[in-house]
Structure 1
Amino acid sequence: MNAHPPLRPDDTEPSFATADETRRHRQRRLALAYRLFGAMHWGEQGDGHISARDPELTDCFWLLRYGVPFGEATVDDLVLVGPNGAVVDGEGEINPTAYYIHMPIHDARPEIVCVAHTHTGYGTPWSANAAPFRTICQEAVAFHDDHAVFHDGEVDVQSTDGGKRIAAALGETKLVILRSHGLLTVGRSVDEAMGWYLMAERVSEVHVKAPDAEPIGDEDAERCRASIADPAQGWKTFNWAIRSRVPDPTVVDA
């Protein structure tokens, strides 16, 4: 088995000299992100999608082609989706809902690379409350004053108009709770967006299991934000998870 490189406390998102190198890295991380969703048993009903912006064709994003189980994703299974929803590179079709949701968000937030959404065991139940998170656990501090709720009844998004409303609700935050639908996170890298998603799911679990929990005080939450809300923490969370759930990263190169 080809293991991940050792993870050190000061490791951060790598940078690359060329667009081709950046693209290849994003594609591999995207395929690993889908593998992680699969390892968590998320998306087993075809529900969910993760996108990664192309470093050159910045109005396009990479997506897993339709019909591939998340736990079997490889780089060769990725397709590039253009501004009109057509596949412009790679072979296969896409889940049109992914285009309807993701394209407006990428358009509205040019600084982000990745958008992640699926239906989970705790995020979806919590979203049915149409309520924001309270700071009732360590991970919740990452979203203190940095998340939103999409109060909309369109739980099956069938047009980019729905995606535009989600993008408007998201605003400049990194998480939006989609009412009666689930969680959606964004990040400046695949790793960061996925790290926020994992943390948001943990926060949802705490809300579901401890509905009467006493919140962390605002002063303490603000003090802890410097470390827990740092994008590097999102990156590290994903990297810990894939080392546990997808121990051989070369599987995405098959």
Structure 2
Amino acid sequence: MAPSANPKSGIQPKSIPTKDVEPMAAMAHQGKALPGIPSFDSYAQQRQWQLEHMAGAFRVFAREGYAEGISGHISVRDPEFEDRFWINPLAVHFGMLKASDMICITVDGDVVGGNTEGSINAAGFQIHSSVHRARKDVHAICHTHSVHGRAWSAFAKPLEMINQDVCYFYKAHSVYSDYGGIANESSEGQRIAKSLGDGKAVILMNHGLLTVGQTVDEAAFLFCLMERSCQVQLLVDRTGLEKRIVSDEEAKYNFEMASTPDTLYVEFQPHYRYEEYLSNGDFKN
């Protein structure tokens, strides 16, 4: 069914495209699609690529102001061993992290590789291990105590579809409203994983945001987008004016066209390459 006209504005709505369109091809004029997630000849090559992009994501997070003391973590599942993931060391600023700083740990808590001299955030381990256990399709997880994410989390409400970009989370994010303090116990991590369900993101009441993806690029882009979406929501709500919500039909179309693993990977590449340019790629070491 086509959307109806708005009687207040007199604006006739545009029809939603109905024919099948490949999301990656639709991103560029005349279907000249950008390259998506790369493939690799070996686990070693893929592992190094993942660690470089993980470190690059931390540099982006540092520039965006997401660092807060020793809080915040990104994890990436090892490409060869399903029960292992890589995570950042405790008490190292996001803006200083390099690929060689990351620590490899099993979901049971055994450090098995990487920077074995580093410490791991206990709460971070509980959250990330629980999500990696629960979601075999998830290869990367981002969680920090970003400012606007924390502010919006106080309401324990999902984001509204008030603009095109937030539709990337259409029916794909949830709210964890059973805050249990710092997640030093496995039970808190398990409850967070359960609240995430099969979605792309969860708003943690009185805590912050958590996003997931098939690549660290996807999870990182979604985190940046969710943080900005929280900021936009707070700005819009502050006006007290009547909001116009994107229709379910339009929001669903936006989500299907822009929120695939490949498109979200591509969305992050300008951010990654800018950090690479600014630092001469030093985070890859």
If the TM-score is normalised by the length of the shorter chain, which range does it land in?
over 0.9
Between the aligned partners of 2:134 and 2:107, the Cα distance in structure 1 is 13
Q: 1:154 aligns with which of 180, 187, 199?
A: 180
Letter paired with 1:215: I
Change (3 A) 1:236 1:102: same
Decide whether the 8 Å contact of 2:107 with 2:133 is kept in 1: no
* Residue segments in structure 2 that go unaligned for 5+ positions in a row: 1-31
> Is 1:24–2:48 an aligned residue pair?
yes
User: What secondary structure, in the 3-state scheme, does the structure 1 residue paired with 2:147 have?
Assistant: coil
Taking structure 2 as the reference length, the TM-score comes to 0.82
Change (3 A) 1:15 1:26: same
> Is 1:253–2:277 an aligned residue pair?
no
With 81-90 and 133-142 compared, the bigger mean Cα shift is at 81-90
Between the aligned partners of 1:218 and 1:61, the Cα distance in structure 2 is 36
Between the aligned partners of 2:42 and 2:98, the Cα distance in structure 1 is 22
User: What secondary structure, in the 3-state scheme, does the structure 2 residue paired with 1:13 have?
Assistant: coil
Between the aligned partners of 2:68 and 2:158, the Cα distance in structure 1 is 26
Look up the match of 1:126. Answer: 152
Decide whether the 8 Å contact of 1:127 with 1:180 is kept in 2: yes
* Residue segments in structure 1 that go unaligned for 5+ positions in a row: 1-7
Look up the match of 1:3. Answer: none
With 65-74 and 127-136 compared, the bigger mean Cα shift is at 65-74
Between the aligned partners of 1:155 and 1:12, the Cα distance in structure 2 is 39
Detail structure 1 runs of 4+ shifted over 6 Å in the superposition. Answer: none
User: What secondary structure, in the 3-state scheme, does the structure 1 residue paired with 2:270 have?
Assistant: helix
User: What secondary structure, in the 3-state scheme, does the structure 2 residue paired with 1:122 have?
Assistant: helix
Q: 1:204 aligns with which of 213, 230, 238?
A: 230
> Is 1:230–2:254 an aligned residue pair?
no
Letter paired with 2:256: A
Between the aligned partners of 2:158 and 2:217, the Cα distance in structure 1 is 24
Letter paired with 1:239: Q
> Is 1:216–2:246 an aligned residue pair?
yes
Q: Map Cα deviations across residues 27-50 of structure 1 (whole Å, 9 max, x no partner).
A: 111111111111112123122100
Between the aligned partners of 1:82 and 1:218, the Cα distance in structure 2 is 41
Letter paired with 2:88: L
Decide whether the 8 Å contact of 1:155 with 1:180 is kept in 2: no
Letter paired with 2:251: A
Letter paired with 1:138: Q
Decide whether the 8 Å contact of 1:44 with 1:70 is kept in 2: no
Between the aligned partners of 1:187 and 1:210, the Cα distance in structure 2 is 28
Between the aligned partners of 2:211 and 2:253, the Cα distance in structure 1 is 23
Between the aligned partners of 1:251 and 1:20, the Cα distance in structure 2 is 20
Decide whether the 8 Å contact of 2:70 with 2:92 is kept in 1: no
Q: 1:105 aligns with which of 121, 128, 131?
A: 131
Between the aligned partners of 1:12 and 1:161, the Cα distance in structure 2 is 37
Q: Map Cα deviations across residues 196-252 of structure 1 (whole Å, 9 max, x no partner).
A: 111111211111100153211112212222222222232122212223445246211
Change (3 A) 1:38 1:109: same
Query: Counterparts of 1:62-211 in structure 2 under 5 Å?
Result: 62-89=86-113, 90-91=115-116, 92-211=118-237
With 244-253 and 197-206 compared, the bigger mean Cα shift is at 244-253
Change (3 A) 1:246 1:45: farther
Q: 2:272 aligns with which of 239, 242, 248?
A: 242
With 230-239 and 112-121 compared, the bigger mean Cα shift is at 230-239
Larger Rg: 2
Decide whether the 8 Å contact of 1:52 with 1:114 is kept in 2: yes
Decide whether the 8 Å contact of 2:217 with 2:269 is kept in 1: yes
Letter paired with 1:142: Y
Between the aligned partners of 1:246 and 1:204, the Cα distance in structure 2 is 27
Decide whether the 8 Å contact of 1:185 with 1:193 is kept in 2: yes
> How many pairs are equivalent?
248
